[in-house]
Structure 1
């Protein structure tokens, strides 16, 4: 059995949907904090059980019978995330899983300029010490393009702090790649980078956005402190604004400039480009 956590979220939700195209639903389980939100999966024959990274006993029950477990990284930034991840890994091992996959991030390292990557590094270290086969899915950046680019459609500009090269992948591709490993289409051990074939910058996004709308979308660089002040004036907590700023600052160091062909290999095709992703965005 394959058990997936975070299956009601966007990333691992895509993984489960892809698994259902290739694996009998009775061979798939999900471990979720809110089982009522997974009833659409239960209706398709997927085993749905309650599980939270704060409760090892509940996790062991939700992982029961699993050969493989896919762990999504915790989104509970107010808690001790590393401890949560260790609890989940230990529960999977105790439940008898022979392989654990974990949604990590490109550039994971204890000395990374982007704070979340130290959390991923600590989690990967615990995986390496777990005694079972493991894979760290070091995904490139992904998420809401509106948050990354701002209201470019209406303003005609992408106005953000200075940036450097990074990879922005489509969550659907990341989810499909995880499924490819789980169903055995391709082997992947240890940490693997899942990136675009070549890194991009916000200048590239501006160029592709211009093509999307048929008019020029400019790239405006805003000084760091000016950008933080503008964000807080709009109601963003300063801690969150500075957290986001640290991502832009980390890209400037070239920390995310590396690209890797593994995502393309797992998908058996080119990953969705940033032009593809912008084209999928609704006109606003």
Structure 2
């Protein structure tokens, strides 16, 4: 058994970036994706395993993890039963002989977190702790990309965030931190550790609207909503209640101050500053092209 790393979600926004970085470092990795044709083609990739439907596909997950020591576990797609899928992946990892999990969690994960999806992450963390495996939790904040996608077709960024601020982070910074955590020579220094992964500063959604206005040349504004208004404005999407709760509570978590504190993790572990929201816009024009109408 060598230092084979299993990377889940390898066709996603963080997983793909992580796989590219691990390949550049010469790591031996196995990519786990839902569709094999979406997996990045990289040196050092042993196999590509398609899992469907998700982590509950125990046989495919066991095949993906057999012979590996380390698992990078990205959270599954948002779902009413996501915690059950996460627990299945963790239990399969134990059965397959995995020794260590680096789990991509969420900032403020807690049983009573305002952001309802952060409660899923807390439950997953607790299951990992109980598994007996070595672990590292990377709790990322909301992504810069999410902030850009908060803007509606009418150029209004609306939600019940009040005057709260958010220390949003880029996918690239999260992938860089994950690379360090997975490849560190002294991996024991990461055992049992939890790291918040954020951007360099926190900003309000009103400030985000100003930055987006400068970048797009459009007039984008922030419109605070009450919780009642937020639920009413999203009622027409036909989404299930658990999903609407997640949408609305992401803003409410900002208002509650639960995503407000910048962390030095990116700079400390990568020896470079984290990307600000404005820097992310400059570096990733394709990710907010929908705003240049």
- TM-score, with structure 1 as normaliser: 0.87
**Aligned residue number for residue 151 of structure 2:** 149
Q: Is the 8 A contact 1:232 1:238 kept in 2?
A: no
Aligned residues: 276
Matched, 1:272 2:275: yes
- How far does residue 130 in structure 1 lie from its aligned partner after superposition? 1.8
The answer for the alignment partner of 1:161 in structure 2 is 160
Map 1:60-71 to 2 at 5 A: 60-71=62-73
Work out whether 1:140 is the aligned partner of 2:121.
no
- Note the alpha carbon deviations across 1:137-179, whole angstroms, 9 max, x for none: 101112444422334xx63x43333331222111121122111
Relative to structure 1, the CA distance from residue 210 to residue 55 in structure 2 (aligned partners, 3 Å threshold; closer, same or farther) is closer
Gaps spanning 5+ residues in structure 2: where?
none
C-alpha RMSD of the superposition: 2.4
- Change in 2 beyond 3 A, CA 1:222/1:183: same
2:249 counterpart residue number: 246
User: Given the alignment of the two structures, is residue 196 of structure 1 paired with residue 199 of structure 2, yes or no?
Assistant: yes
Matches within 5 A, 1:1-284: 1-24=4-27, 27-38=28-39, 40-41=40-41, 45-51=45-51, 52-78=54-80, 80-142=81-143, 143-151=145-153, 155=155, 157-163=156-162, 164-184=164-184, 187-189=189-191, 190-213=193-216, 217-233=220-236, 235-237=237-239, 239=241, 240-279=243-282, 280=284, 281-282=288-289, 283-284=292-293
- Per the alignment, do residues 48 and 204 of structure 1 end up closer, same or farther by CA in structure 2, a change over 3 Å counting? same
Gaps of 5+ in 1: none
Distance 1:31 1:215 in 2: 40
Shift of 1:45: 4.3
Post-superposition shift, 1:14? 1.0
Given the superposition, is the C-alpha separation of residues 149 and 122 from structure 1 closer, same or farther in structure 2, using an over 3 Å criterion?
same
Q: Displacement of 1:238 after TM fit?
A: 6.7
Between the aligned partners of 1:149 and 1:193, the Cα distance in structure 2 is 26
Task: Spell out, residue by residue over 1:224-274, the C-alpha distance to the aligned partner (whole angstroms, 9 max, x if none).
Answer: 3334323334x3537344431111112212122222111222222111111
TM-aligned CA distance change 1:264 to 1:91, over 3 Å: same
